[in-house]
Structure 1
Amino acid sequence: MLSKEELLQYSRHIILPEIDIEGQEAIKDSHVLIIGLGGLGSPAALYLVAAGVGELTVVDDDLVESSNLQRQIIHRIETIGSPKTESAKASLESLSPTIKVNLLTQKASPEVLNKLDSERFTLVLDCTDNFTSRFLINEWSVSNQIPLVSATAVAFSAQLAVFNQKLQHACYQCLYSNMNLPEGNCADQGILSPVVGTMGTLQATEALKIILGLNKADTSFLLTYDSLDTAFQRFNIMKDPSCSVCS
């Protein structure tokens, strides 16, 4: 149930007929798993907490570095050298003192993910920067039937993908299993900082739509973004009948 303070704080949500008080209570009752607290996870976490999500579990084993601050907006100069999980928690709690933030200052691995109580999570955001982690997170989300919102960005381009495993849609493995995987990351190719901000914000948007039951897509989809041309393209992802993960 929402308090008087929460009714005021989230009033701009509540006046939306698609959300109303019941929707805001659903947001408050949700528990989102965020893996990666870099350029994608930073805006995603901030917007989810600002929107009223009641509980986050965040996973990252890195320390804050000065080069992170160009795009990882959840961290601050004074937290350089600190674990990203602790730095993020401080920012999130300053935004919403009632938020519950669980920290896993570890690298996402099969052992770490399999120890999680999957039934506690509403969905998972993949905000990592490598294919090994993305495939691992995808396999975990499929096996536990947890919706997955994944994003990636490098240079001036980015991608967002949404997979609703509860509806047995196509998975991340269906998208990339038969393709040559693109190489490179922000460390070697660079990144325009607002590009990851755009995708992290879209991840938060899609997460809230899933929580609210507003995600009406009847299939998994991929959204590509070219910031130089200010162009978005959306593609449906078809389930691979021979997928080693979801089939």
Structure 2
Amino acid sequence: MLSQSELLQFSRHIILPEIDIQGQEAIKSSHVLIIGLGGLGSPAAMYLAAAGVGEMTVVDNDLVETSNLQRQIIHQTNTVGKSKTESARAAIESLSPYTKVNTISEKASREVLGQFNSSNLTLALDCTDNFESRFLINEWSVANQIPLVSATAVAFSGQLAVFNRKQEDACYHCLYSNMDLPEGDCTDQGILSPVVGTMGSLQATEALKLILELEQPNGSFLLKYESLKTTFQKFKVPKDPNCSVCS
């Protein structure tokens, strides 16, 4: 049940016929796991909190550094040197008193992910910056049938992938297992700060669509964004019948 103050705060959601009060209550009842509180996780967490997500668990083992502030908008100059999870918790709680924030100041691992399954989690956002973590998160997502929204960004481009986790859908391993993995990250190639913000915001949008069960494309998909050309390209990700993870 939404309180009077929640009805006021989320009124611009509620007037959308696709959301209404029932949809806002679904957002309030959701539990979202955000793995990584860098340039992707920062806007994603802020928008999901602003949207009224009732519970959020944030995972990151890093401390806030001055070089993070160019793009990791959830952190502030006065949180440099503090853990990213505590910095994020303070920002989220100041934005949305309705969101319960759980923090795990560890690197994503099988033990950390093992705490969550489809009975206590709605969906997960992969906001990490390395393939080891992404493959691990994907395996856990498939094993527990938890929807996964993944994104990357480097230099002037970004990618978004959504895996609904239906049995017939592809997984992250289907997408990258048989192709050369892209090299480099923002540490050695740099990143235009709004690009990573764009991808994190898209993650939040797709997460809310999953929570609300709004129209979704059939199967998993990949979206590529090129900021210099101002172009988006969308591709369906076919399921690999020989995938060692989801088949």
Q: Same fold (TM over 0.5)?
A: yes
8 Å CA contact 1:206, 1:215 repeated in 2: no
Is 2:41 the counterpart of 1:41?
yes
Q: Per-residue deviation at 1:216?
A: 2.0
Deviations 1:81-118 (A, max 9, x none): 00000000000000011210000000001121113354
**Counterpart for residue 4 of structure 1:** 4
Secondary structure of the structure 2 residue equivalent to 1:119: coil
User: Could you list the per-position Cα deviations for residues 17-55 of structure 1 after superposition, in whole angstroms to 9, with x for gaps in the alignment?
Assistant: 000000000000000000000000000000000000000
Match of 1:147 in 2: 147
Secondary structure (helix, strand or coil) at the match of 1:217 reads coil
The answer as to whether partners of 1:142 and 1:171 remain within 8 angstroms in 2 is yes
1:174 counterpart residue number? 174
Distance 2:213 2:188 in 1: 39
Q: Which runs of 4+ in 1 moved over 6 A?
A: none
1:164 and 1:215 mapped to 2: Cα distance?
Answer: 12
Q: How many angstroms does 1:192 deviate by?
A: 0.1
Distance between the aligned counterparts of 2:135 and 2:109, measured in 1?
11
Match in the other structure for 1:86: 86
Shift of 1:57: 0.4
- Which deviations, in whole Å up to 9, do the C-alpha atoms of 1:61-86 show, x marking residues without a partner? 00000000000000000000000000
Counterpart-to-counterpart distance in 1, 2:53 and 2:168: 25
Name the structure 2 match of 1:120.
120
Q: How does 1:6-155 map to 2 (within 5 A)?
A: 6-155=6-155
Query: Cα RMSD between the aligned structures?
Result: 0.8
Which residue matches 1:213?
213
Structure 2 contact 117–146 (Cα < 8 Å) conserved: no
String of CA shifts for 1:183-224, please: whole Å, max 9, x gaps.
Answer: 000000000000000000000000000000014211100000
Q: So what's the TM-score if we normalise by structure 2?
A: 0.98
Amino-acid identity (%): 75
Q: How many residues align?
A: 247
Tell me if structure 1 keeps the 8 A contact 2:27–2:211.
yes
* Other-structure match for 2:187: 187
1:158 match: secondary structure? strand
TM-score (ref. length: structure 1): 0.98
Supply the distance in 2 between the matched residues of 1:216 and 1:80 (Cα, whole angstroms): 39
Q: CA deviation at 1:167?
A: 4.6
